[in-house]
């Protein structure tokens, strides 16, 4: 799931915009902000709950031969020219580049490196999409908007569903987003005014957290400003203690410029959620058999999220640039089915066909860092997940960033098949942790669930590649997901005979168990045993997973 920048997370938390916000945790001891690869570290050796990747390479994999593995990243696209992904992008050898012919007869012309389900044949792209609530409201409104109560509805269950959709549609509306933007702008203006006051009061051009702590107010106005600024810093990550207030404000102002551009894009789909789809893509979004749409433009400068996730998995190891990814012998297959904005949701149709595309073209692992609250065509997604299972493909999915229990409130896609007690055995759902080893170990934004979330993985302040040969920190279950997908691929590199079900078993049974460890329940300061937050009760561990894989495969022999 996408997360916004550090400044945005700080002031947005204060404004309680919980749908897109997260509160970063204060680190106790190990300084996350100083290490750009903490997700690769090992608790026993480094005192941080990383995924023990470096230890696995150093102690288990030296001298061993690996086999290439294709990992599909279903996302907003991938910058395939990113320097640290060089040599790790999938190439469709069955397709002749640029000849305008579907050489491999898979229904997708010139899909050299993957496919874009949000593109048109003329090269245009959809960047803004509505939420699923917006689309469902538009679909059901003609039938139910004039009904005053359920007694008038012929289908009472669907009418109740419409009311739920209607409520969420109003929350997701462009008007509300504009209000949020205005509130955020006002908050930044207040911070700037407070910063100006403090600069004059303490005679310093750059004000830091310690300056505010030591400041002695001489009147009620000064006391109010001090409290306001301390609240800002205290709601933020510990990294803010070493960043000046004016730098934080500048970051927030830069975010708002981008945010305003996104609002303008969102206006394009505000009234008719299907208008851009009709204009650019041209398919029937309600017909799963209308499949041959899209284009082969798998990424551009806006594909930051997918490029970041891909770098976590596949950035070149020990190449002297950027970062070290988790794997050393994978090829990323970009499949674009997710919009580039913070707002809209992927469609069930695009997701179902994206999964099938990845499966049919050789992916063994599918990484999916997105999700939503409604899934009106879930049967299409379920069928695709089952298809992947039949082909022995493992799917890894983000648990979501709402800080809620998804055992109680569903988040999609998930492992539960519609109208059945059966669950997908080839899907892993991942929550996010921070580098803190104390009560705030679990990311406050992460969804959780003793039935629906399988395990946790590093997902706060993860440093990875972005378009333009650049690198950034980002946070979310979006980042935790490719950590697990990368480890799954790493296991397959060295033990290629494992089935998807065996792979999931290995990953789940080899976690760093934290049963008995008390942590904050996400979204609150209520203490709970870590084991109550997920199925496995632990954090993904590449070292232990490879040991278990070796043990299982040796027994077969």
For range 499-509, the mean pLDDT? 98
Res. 448: pLDDT tops 60: yes
pLDDT for res 28: 29
pLDDT for res 100: 94
* Best-predicted range by mean pLDDT (30-34, 262-266, 424-428, 520-524): 424-428
CATH 3.40.50.200 maps onto the chain at 31-129+273-556
Residue 257 φ/ψ region, left for φ over 0, alpha for ψ in the -120 to 50 degree band, beta for the rest: alpha
> Which H helix or E strand runs over 333?
strand 330-336
pLDDT for res 9: 41
pLDDT for res 248: 82
For range 522-530, the mean pLDDT? 94
Look at 14-18, 83-87, 470-474 and tell me which has the smallest mean pLDDT: 14-18
For range 63-79, the mean pLDDT? 97
Longest dimension (CA), the chain: 79
Alpha-carbon distance 486 to 477, whole Å?
14
> Which SS3 state, helix, strand or coil, does residue 122 take?
coil
Contact call for residues 527 and 91 (beta carbons, < 8 A): no
Which position has the token pair 């760093």? 512
> Which H helix or E strand runs over 160?
helix 156-172
Res. 405: pLDDT tops 90: yes
> Which SS3 state, helix, strand or coil, does residue 423 take?
strand
Res. 24: pLDDT tops 50: no
pLDDT for res 84: 97
The H-assigned helical ranges of 235-274 are 245-267
- Helices 6-14, 245-267: axis angle to 10 degrees equals 80
For range 383-405, the mean pLDDT? 97
Alpha-carbon distance 79 to 76, whole Å?
10
Which position has the token pair 């648990």? 399
Res. 209: pLDDT tops 90: no
Look at 119-128, 413-422, 463-472 and tell me which has the smallest mean pLDDT: 119-128
Q: Alpha carbon of 193 to those of 188, 254, 460: distances in Å?
A: 9, 17, 30
Q: Alpha carbon of 165 to those of 75, 123, 220, 372, 411: distances in Å?
A: 25, 33, 46, 12, 14
pLDDT for res 14: 37
Res. 32: pLDDT tops 60: no
> What does pTM read for this prediction?
0.83
Considering the segment(s) 31-129+273-556 as one domain, its CATH architecture is: 3-Layer(aba) Sandwich (3.40)
Q: Alpha carbon of 91 to those of 299, 331, 332: distances in Å?
A: 14, 8, 9
Look at 187-196, 220-229, 252-261, 297-306 and tell me which has the smallest mean pLDDT: 252-261
Taking only the tens place, the pLDDT of each residue in 302-336 is 899 999 999 999 999 999 999 999 999 999 999 99
Q: Following DSSP, what letter does each residue of 67-100 receive, concatenated?
A: --EEEEEEES---TT-GGGTT-B---TTS-TTSS
DSSP summary character for residue 448: B
Read off the tokens for 172. Answer: 């997701």
Phi then psi for residue 438, to 5 deg, are: -95, -145
Sheet of strand 512-513: strand arrangement? 115-116, 330-336, 69-75, 365-368, 394-398, 427-433, 455-458, 538-539, 512-513
Alpha-carbon distance 494 to 31, whole Å?
33
Look at 342-351, 384-393, 434-443, 448-457 and tell me which has the smallest mean pLDDT: 342-351
Res. 351: pLDDT tops 80: yes
Taking only the tens place, the pLDDT of each residue in 87-127 is 999 999 999 999 999 999 999 999 999 999 999 988 999 98
What count of other Cβ atoms lies within 10 Å of the Cβ of residue 421?
Answer: 6
Alpha-carbon distance 502 to 133, whole Å?
37
Taking only the tens place, the pLDDT of each residue in 358-368 is 999 999 999 99
Q: Within a 13 Å sphere around the CA of 147, how many CA atoms are in the beta-carbon half?
A: 19
CA angle (283, 288, 292) in 5-degree steps: 50
Closest CA to 539 of 44, 89, 112, 139: 44
For range 143-151, the mean pLDDT? 87
Closest CA to 498 of 365, 386, 369: 365
pLDDT for res 12: 40
3-state secondary structure string across 9-30: HHHHHHCCCCCCCCCCCCCCCC
Exposure string of 473-487, with b = 16+ CB inside 10 Å and e = fewer, is bbbbbbbbbbbbbbb
Q: Residues of the chain with pLDDT > 90: what percent? A: 71
Distance from the Cα of residue 239 to its chain's centroid? 22
């Amino acid at each position: 799931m996408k997360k916004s920048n550090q400044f945005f997370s700080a002031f947005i938390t204060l404004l309680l915009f919980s749908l897109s916000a997260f509160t970063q945790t204060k680190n106790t001891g190990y300084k996350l902000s100083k290490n750009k690869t903490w997700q690769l570290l090992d608790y026993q050796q480094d005192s941080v709950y990383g995924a023990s990747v470096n230890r696995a390479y150093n102690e288990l994999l030296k001298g061993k031969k690996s086999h290439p593995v294709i990992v599909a990243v279903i996302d907003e696209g991938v910058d395939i020219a990113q320097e640290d992904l060089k040599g790790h992008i999938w190439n469709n050898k069955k397709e002749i580049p640029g000849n305008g012919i579907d050489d491999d007869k898979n229904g997708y012309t010139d899909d050299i490196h993957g496919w874009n389900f949000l593109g048109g044949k003329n090269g245009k792209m959809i960047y803004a999409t509505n939420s699923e609530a917006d689309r469902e409201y538009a679909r059901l409104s003609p039938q139910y908007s004039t009904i005053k109560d359920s007694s008038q509805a012929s289908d009472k269950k669907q009418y109740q569903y419409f009311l739920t959709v209607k409520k969420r549609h109003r929350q997701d509306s462009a008007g509300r987003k504009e209000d949020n933007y205005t509130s955020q702008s006002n908050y930044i203006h207040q911070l700037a005014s407070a910063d100006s006051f403090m600069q004059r009061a303490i005679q310093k051009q750059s004000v830091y957290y310690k300056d505010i702590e030591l400041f002695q107010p001489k009147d009620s106005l000064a006391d109010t400003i001090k409290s306001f600024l301390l609240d800002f810093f205290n709601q933020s990550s510990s990294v803010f203690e070493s960043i000046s207030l004016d730098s934080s404000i500048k970051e927030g102002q830069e975010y708002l410029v981008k945010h305003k551009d996104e609002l303008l894009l969102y206006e394009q789909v505000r009234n008719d959620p299907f208008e851009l789809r009709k204009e650019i893509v041209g398919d029937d979004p309600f017909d799963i058999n209308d499949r041959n749409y899209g284009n082969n433009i798998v990424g551009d400068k806006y594909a930051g999220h997918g490029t970041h996730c891909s770098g976590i998995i596949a950035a070149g190891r020990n190449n002297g640039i950027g970062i070290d990814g988790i794997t050393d012998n994978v090829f990323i297959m970009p499949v674009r089915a997710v919009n580039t904005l913070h707002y809209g949701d992927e469609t069930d149709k695009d997701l179902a066909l994206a999964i099938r595309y990845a499966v049919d073209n050789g992916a063994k692992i599918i990484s999916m860092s997105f999700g939503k609250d409604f899934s009106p065509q879930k049967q299409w997604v379920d069928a695709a997940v089952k298809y992947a299972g039949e082909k022995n493909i493992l799917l890894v999915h983000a648990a979501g960033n709402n800080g809620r229990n998804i055992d109680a409130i569903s988040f999609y896609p998930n492992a539960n098949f519609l109208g059945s007690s059966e669950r997908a055995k080839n899907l892993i759902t991942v929550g996010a942790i921070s580098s803190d080893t104390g009560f705030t170990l679990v990311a406050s934004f992460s969804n959780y669930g003793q039935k629906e979330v399988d395990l946790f993985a590093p997902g706060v302040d993860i440093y990875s590649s972005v378009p333009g040969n650049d690198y950034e920190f980002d946070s979310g279950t979006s980042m935790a997901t490719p950590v697990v997908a990368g480890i799954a691929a790493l296991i397959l590199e060295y033990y290629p005979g494992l089935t998807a079900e065996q792979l999931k078993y290995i990953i789940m049974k080899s976690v760093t168990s934290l049963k008995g460890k008390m942590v904050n329940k996400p979204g609150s300061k209520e203490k709970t045993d870590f084991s109550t937050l997920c199925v496995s009760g632990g954090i993904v561990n590449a070292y232990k997973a490879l040991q278990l894989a070796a043990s299982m495969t040796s027994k077969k022999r």
